[in-house]
Structure 1
Amino acid sequence: MLKIKQLPINTTHISGPVLLLILTVFCYFFNENFSQYFVYNRPLIIEHQYWRLITAHIFHTNYAHLLLNALAVILLWLIHGHYYSLFQYLSLTLISALIISISIFIFDPEMLQYVGLSGVLHALFVWGALKDITAKEKTGYLLLIGVIVKIAHEQFFGASEDIASLINASVAINAHLSGALVGLGYYFIPKIGKKFIH
């Protein structure tokens, strides 16, 4: 069973998630005004509108899509917020957003548009689970196994049709896979780098 020992409410722990939530909610309410300039749009990215590779992730298809991702941001903060710092949170969010979009561009050329935080959330999830394991928290293993099973199920059997219907869009299962791999890399690459340096 997941344990939330103490709410991670100090500025260091909460500032990243709060900033992300404010930004996504703002973008949702002004979606009609701004989204056409910022969502992932493959033809426009080919025309050098590269900022879309990052900004696409803070837009959502509808209220249900926003709500699902916002609740996930909050849940991950409750579980792993004590590991967060503003720099770490924003750097992982930005790096995962960029790499996920690049992977979609390269490996999913048929996907012309993409929005949503779910891929980034998978990166945060995997990174947090690995931090749990390092801290000798048994729940870290359960979380990591759970996300591996989820991603494998999506890759072999596809995403839930109920979720696709709810968010009024196809679920980008490869974004989830890419995000999980980024979370893995974000955790292990600095450790490997330190070993080579020392």
Structure 2
Amino acid sequence: MTLTFKNLPLKKQHSMLVTIIAILAILAYFFNDAVSELFVYQYQLISQGELWRTFTGHFFHTNGFHLLLNLAALALLWALHGHFYNVKSYSLLFITSALTCSAGMYFFSPEIRQYVGLSGVLHGIFVFGAIMDIRHKDKTGYLLFVGVWLKIAHEQFYGASEQVSSLIDANVAVDAHLWGAVGGLLFSSCYVLMTKKTISSYNNER
């Protein structure tokens, strides 16, 4: 699909949650010193029962460049696939990707003691958009789906770009990308199955 201003998904159901997420991330950045100690993903504190950090930590960023990179990616994914979003599905997609990302890091990457950023969740949102493209017979969806997993595999074997690490002033948590994408895949699989059942039930009733 060619991106133009006319075909941007500007309706409330497509854009409201994306806007709210961006605002929360911006607020978290500006009030970082005051609230980050309470909300950032920290392995040790999560182990002590502060489970809310598995969700809230994704809204914080290491610096302004990190924030801008993630907001740009959030906006681009919305521009590409926002017509597939609605309040309920996007909420569940975001929550599933965020919690799967955190759970994956907690159980399988305990060496990651602290994590911030939307990048893990963004990989889950990317996977959802690619699958929706495929479902709607858009061949670019296959390229996007294969491409994101190749990127993740490359990161797992070779690590992330040193330039990006330097820009955000932190090591890139490539495992967060992996588990965020897994969360997006889990949600997308359930979403496709559930909507198929809904469509089948509707057709049968007719």
Kindly provide the CA deviation profile for residues 94-129 of structure 1, in whole angstroms up to 9, marking residues without a partner as x.
121111111111111111100000000000000000
**CA offset at residue 46 of structure 1?**
1.2
Partner of 1:135: 136
**CA offset at residue 4 of structure 1?**
2.4
Q: Distance in 2 between matches of 1:47 and 1:151?
A: 31
Partner of 1:45: 46
Partner of 2:74: 73
Matches within 5 A, 1:146-161: 146-161=147-162
Contact 2:42 2:113 survives alignment (8 Å): yes
Q: Distance in 2 between matches of 1:72 and 1:107?
A: 26
Do the aligned partners of residues 9 and 191 (structure 1) sit closer, same or farther apart at CA in structure 2, a change above 3 Å counting? closer
Q: Distance in 1 between matches of 2:137 and 2:88?
A: 24
Q: Does 1:102 align with 2:103?
A: yes
Q: Distance in 2 between matches of 1:170 and 1:44?
A: 21
Matches within 5 A, 1:110-129: 110-129=111-130
**What stretches of structure 1 of length at least 5 have no aligned partner?**
none
- Indicate the RMSD between aligned Cα atoms, in angstroms: 1.6
Q: Distance in 2 between matches of 1:131 and 1:191?
A: 9
Partner of 2:2: 3
Tell me the TM-score normalised to structure 2 length.
0.91
Partner of 2:83: 82
Partner of 1:22: 23
Partner of 1:179: 180
Q: Distance in 1 between matches of 2:103 and 2:124?
A: 15
The one-letter code of the counterpart of 1:32 is: D
Moved over 3 A (4+): 190-195
Partner of 2:164: 163
Partner of 2:63: 62
Contact 2:98 2:183 survives alignment (8 Å): no
The one-letter code of the counterpart of 1:3 is: T
**CA offset at residue 189 of structure 1?**
2.2
Tell me the TM-score normalised to structure 1 length.
0.94
Kindly provide the CA deviation profile for residues 18-43 of structure 1, in whole angstroms up to 9, marking residues without a partner as x.
01001100110100111111001111
**What stretches of structure 2 of length at least 5 have no aligned partner?**
202-206
Greater alpha carbon shift after TM alignment, 151-160 vs 179-188: 179-188
Match of 1:72, SS? helix
Partner of 2:204: none
Identity %: 49
Match of 1:123, SS? helix
Kindly provide the CA deviation profile for residues 40-61 of structure 1, in whole angstroms up to 9, marking residues without a partner as x.
1111111111100100000000
